[in-house]
Amino acid sequence: MLLIANYEGRSGTEQSAKLLAQRENGLRAIIEGIKIVEANHDIHTVGLSSWPNMLGELQLDASVMDGNTRRTGAVGALRGFKHPVEVAYSIMQELSHEILVGEGAERFAREIGAIISKNETETSIKGWNNFIETTLTHEQQKNFPNIRLLDIKNTAIDPEKILANSVQDQANEQAKPFDTTVYLSIDHEKRISSATSTSGWAWKYPGRLGDSPIIGAGSYADSRFGACACTHTGEMTIRAGTARSVVLYLKMGLSVADAVYEAARDLADLKTGYLDEVTIHAIDKEGNYKVVGLNSSEEIRYVVWKPGMLIPEIKSAEIINL
Ligand code: ASP
C-alpha cells in the first residue's frame, strides 16, 4: 500500500492513510482525503474559499481515475458545490461519459444531490477585489464586467505576484496564486488510483480548464504500471500529456525516476506559450515513488504514507532545472 499527496493536500492525508490501512478501496480512500482539503477554508486553491476567476466567480475542477478499469470521472468549471471530487466520482459511477463541464456539470451535481455550497468567502472576494483595484484601469473598473477580459493582465502569474499583498493571512502558502491537491494510492488489492481537485489559477479567464480535470495531462492511473499527477503549470502538462507519458514510460520499462525525468525533458522542450514550473508526482506498481519539481524556485514538499508509518510523513522533492 502507498499514499502520495502534494503538500497542499496534507490536511486530508491522515484520513486517506487511515482508510487505506483499513483496507478501503484506494480510490475512495483518496477521495475522502481530498474532501477534507476541499472543505479547508485556509487553502485558497482547492474548494471552499479559493481565488475566483476574473469575473469573481469561483469555478472548480476535479478528477478521479480507477487504474484497474481505467474508468475516469472529471468535472470542469463547476460552481456552487462543496465537493467537486465527489461529483467527478459520480460521473464515473453514473454516466457513460468521462467529463462534464459548466452548466451540465451543475445540473448533474443537483440531480445526484451533491452538497451545495457558496464557496466564495470574504477572504476570496477580498483577494479578487484587490486584483480588480490594482490591475484594471479606472475606465475598465467603471465599465466592468462589460469590458474585453482579454485586455486584462493576469497578475497572479506575474513575477511580482501582486496577489501576495491582497489578503491579510498571506504569511505562507495560503496566499499562493495557484496550486491543486493531487493524491495517488495503491490499496491492499494493488489497485492504483489517482484523484485531483483545484480552483486552478487565481483570476483565470472564465471557463479556463487546467490540467487537473484533463486525464492524461494532470493525472493518470493504470494498475498494471503506476500513476502520475502534476501540479502547477497545467498549460504545459496539457501540451505534453505529462501524466499519461510518465505511465507510458513506466510501461516501456523505465524506472519511476527515469520516467519522471523523461517527462520533465518533454516539458522542458516546450519553448513557446506560458512556461513556468511543474511538479510531477509518480508511483510505480511496486510502491516506488518519485516527486520532482521542474524549474521550481522554492522547496517543493509532498506527503508519503505506507504501512508501518504511524502518520504520513512530509518529504522534499528533487528540484531539477532543464
Ligand atoms: N495545475 C493546476 C492548473 O493548471 C494549478 C496548480 O496545480 O498550481 O489548474
CA gap 207, 215 in Å, rounded: 17
- Distance (Å) of CA 6 to CA 108, 211, 232, 299: 29, 15, 11, 12
Amino acid at 132: I
How many A from CA of 94 to the centre of ligand 1? 27
Number of the ligand 1 atom closest to the C-alpha atom of 199? 9
How many A from CA of 150 to the centre of ligand 1? 20
Contact at 8 Å (CB) between 162 and 33? no
Number of the ligand 1 atom closest to the C-alpha atom of 176? 8
Q: Where are the alpha helices (DSSP H) in the chain?
A: 13-21, 26-38, 84-94, 102-111, 122-135, 138-143, 234-240, 242-251, 256-268
Grid coordinates of 173:
502558502
> What digits encode the pLDDT tens for the residues 20-56?
999 999 999 999 999 999 999 989 999 999 999 999 9
CA gap 220, 192 in Å, rounded: 10
How many A from CA of 189 to the centre of ligand 1? 30
> What digits encode the pLDDT tens for the residues 82-133?
999 999 999 999 999 999 999 999 999 999 999 999 999 999 999 999 889 9
How many A from CA of 190 to the centre of ligand 1? 28
Out of 212, 298, 302, give the residue to mutate to test ligand 1, the one with the largest number of ligand atoms within 8 Å of its CB. Answer: 212
206: left (phi over 0), alpha (psi -120 to 50) or beta: beta
> What digits encode the pLDDT tens for the residues 187-245?
999 999 999 999 999 999 999 999 999 999 999 999 999 999 999 999 999 999 999 99
CA gap 182, 215 in Å, rounded: 12
Radius of gyration of the chain, Cα coordinates, nearest whole angstrom: 19
How many A from CA of 81 to the centre of ligand 1? 19
> What digits encode the pLDDT tens for the residues 120-169?
999 999 999 988 998 899 999 999 999 999 998 776 665 445 454 444 44
CA gap 232, 156 in Å, rounded: 12
For range 278-291, the mean pLDDT: 98
Minimal-distance CA residue to ligand 1 atom 4: 234
- β-pairing, 71-78 vs 99-101, is parallel
- How much of the chain is helix, strand and coil, in % rounded to 5? 35, 25, 40
pLDDT, residue 297, reads 87
Grid coordinates of 199:
480552483
CA gap 69, 231 in Å, rounded: 24
Please name the residues in contact with 167: beta carbons below 8 A apart, sequence gap of 6 or more.
44, 123, 126, 127, 130, 174, 175
What does the H/E/C string look like for 98-165? Answer: CEEEHHHHHHHHHHCCCCECCCCCHHHHHHHHHHHHHHCCHHHHHHCCCCCHHHCCCHHHCCCCHHHH
CA gap 130, 125 in Å, rounded: 9
* Full-model pTM: 0.95
Number of the ligand 1 atom closest to the C-alpha atom of 279? 7
Domains of the chain plus CATH, in order, are 2-117+176-320 (3.60.20.30)
Out of 198, 209, 214, give the residue to mutate to test ligand 1, the one with the largest number of ligand atoms within 8 Å of its CB. Answer: 198
Out of 176, 233, 277, give the residue to mutate to test ligand 1, the one with the largest number of ligand atoms within 8 Å of its CB. Answer: 233
User: Which of 312, 313, 268, 270 is CA-nearest to residue 293?
Assistant: 268
Nearest-10 Cα torsion for 116, 9, 213, 221? -130
User: Which of 82, 94, 144 is CA-nearest to residue 119?
Assistant: 82
pLDDT at 277 over 90: yes
How many A from CA of 72 to the centre of ligand 1? 19
Q: Which residues line ligand 1 (CB under 6 A)?
A: 178-180, 198, 200-201, 210-212, 218, 231-232, 234
Among 173-177, 193-197, 280-284, the range scoring the smallest mean pLDDT is 173-177
Grid coordinates of 299:
522547496
